[in-house]
């Protein structure tokens, strides 16, 4: 008589081949054990059918954001310091000047991402975050010199793998998206500090968390207006 433990170890494929063959024969010769094997297999299948749809379900945005952005919270001070150092080498880029002003104020600690319930700037597909229509359109068409609209594009540059990345500011968030498989995939998105949305945005500053992300992503220098326009005409490749 096979013990319960051995019976289930056989059912779960945990026995070595010789022992599995022995139990297999015993089960086949015993109607009660055969029925038990059938019932337990069916139960496991039903359990899996109930829980498996979660694997294909869209992830809640805060969850995806947590993965992408939490490390930044840890390194932001370090990266800030690095960004400040690098600023000295890029005195001419107006965006960086504005960023320096923002960083100097020191109170604008960007809230790490969305528990925001307004129209999401993010769309999650297969565990990756993409920009939604309005931002996607702005990233595709808009130049940094464009008059401020709902979405303002900031810096354009290449990352270490050579993909073009663009930072942007929307109504209550700012972020960084890079070109991947012909789409703008978000590398990070940050909610504006509570209550500071308008003034903060109008100052043209960059969220410190975003600044840190830009700093760690950028290879070389940000594009100037001409390079930005050329990149647009080549489809951001």
Partner 1 sequence: MDRSLSFEDGLSALLPRLRRFAHTLSRSPADADDLTQATVERALRSKSQWEPGTRLDSWLYRIMRNLWIDTVRSRGRREDLHAPVEEAERLGEDPRNAIEASIDLAKAMAAMQRLPEEQREIVALILIEGFGYRECSEILGLPIGTVSSRLVRGRTALLQMMGE
Q: Which residues lie near partner 1 (CB under 8 A)? A: 4-5, 8-9, 12, 14, 39-40, 43-44, 46-57, 59-60, 62-64, 66-68, 70-71, 74, 127-128
Instruction: Decide whether 44 or 230 has the Cβ nearer to partner 1.
Output: 44
Q: Is 39 exposed, middle or buried (0-12, 13-18, 19+ CB in 10 A)?
A: exposed
Pairing, β 152-159 against β 122-125: unpaired
Q: What tokens appear for 166 in the block?
A: 């663009």
13 by DSSP, 3-state: which? coil
Q: How far is the CB of 55 from partner 1 (least distance, A)?
A: 5
Neighbours of 69 (CB within 10 A): 21
Q: Taking the complex as a whole, how short is the minimal distance between the CB of residue 38 and partner 1, in angstroms?
A: 10
Residues 80 and 103 sit within 8 Å (Cβ to Cβ):
yes
Q: How far is the CB of 235 from partner 1 (least distance, A)?
A: 26
Q: How far is the CB of 40 from partner 1 (least distance, A)?
A: 6
CB of 112 to partner 1, least distance (A): 11
Give the span between the Cα atoms of 76 and 7, in whole angstroms.
55
Nearer to partner 1 by C-beta: 18 or 202? 18
Q: How many CB atoms lie within 10 A of CB 93?
A: 16
Specify the residue, 1 or 107, whose C-beta has the smaller distance to partner 1.
Answer: 1
> Toward partner 1, which CB reaches closer, 12 or 77?
12
Residue 127 or 235 having the CB closest to partner 1 = 127
> Is the Cβ–Cβ distance between 9 and 27 less than 8 Å?
no
Cα–Cα nearest to 95, from 196, 167, 187: 167
Shortest spacing between CB 78 and partner 1, in angstroms: 13
Nearer to partner 1, 8 or 90 (CB): 8
Tokens 């960083």 label which residue? 103
Phi and psi dihedrals of 173, rounded to 5? -155, 165
């Amino acid at each position: 008589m096979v013990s319960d433990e051995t019976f289930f170890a056989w059912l779960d494929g945990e026995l070595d081949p010789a022992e599995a063959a022995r139990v297999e024969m015993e089960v086949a010769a015993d109607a009660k054990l055969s029925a038990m094997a059938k019932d337990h297999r069916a139960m496991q299948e039903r359990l899996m059918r109930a829980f498996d749809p979660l694997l294909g379900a869209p992830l809640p945005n805060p969850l995806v954001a947590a993965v992408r952005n939490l490390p930044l919270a840890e390194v932001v001070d370090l990266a800030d310091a690095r960004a400040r150092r690098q600023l000295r080498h890029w005195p001419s880029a107006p965006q960086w000047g504005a960023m320096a002003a923002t960083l100097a104020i020191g109170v604008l600690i960007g809230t790490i991402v969305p528990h925001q319930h307004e129209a999401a700037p993010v769309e999650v597909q297969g565990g990756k975050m993409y920009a939604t229509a309005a931002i996607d359109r702005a990233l595709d068409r808009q130049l940094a010199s464009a008059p401020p609209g709902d979405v303002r594009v900031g810096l354009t540059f290449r990352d270490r793998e050579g993909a073009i990345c663009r930072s942007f500011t929307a109504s209550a968030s700012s972020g960084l998206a890079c070109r991947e498989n012909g789409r703008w995939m978000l590398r990070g998105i940050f909610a504006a500090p509570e209550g500071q949305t308008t003034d903060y945005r109008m100052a043209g500053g960059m969220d410190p968390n975003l600044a840190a992300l830009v700093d760690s992503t950028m290879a070389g220098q940000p594009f100037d207006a001409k390079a930005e326009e050329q990149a647009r005409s080549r489809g951001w490749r």
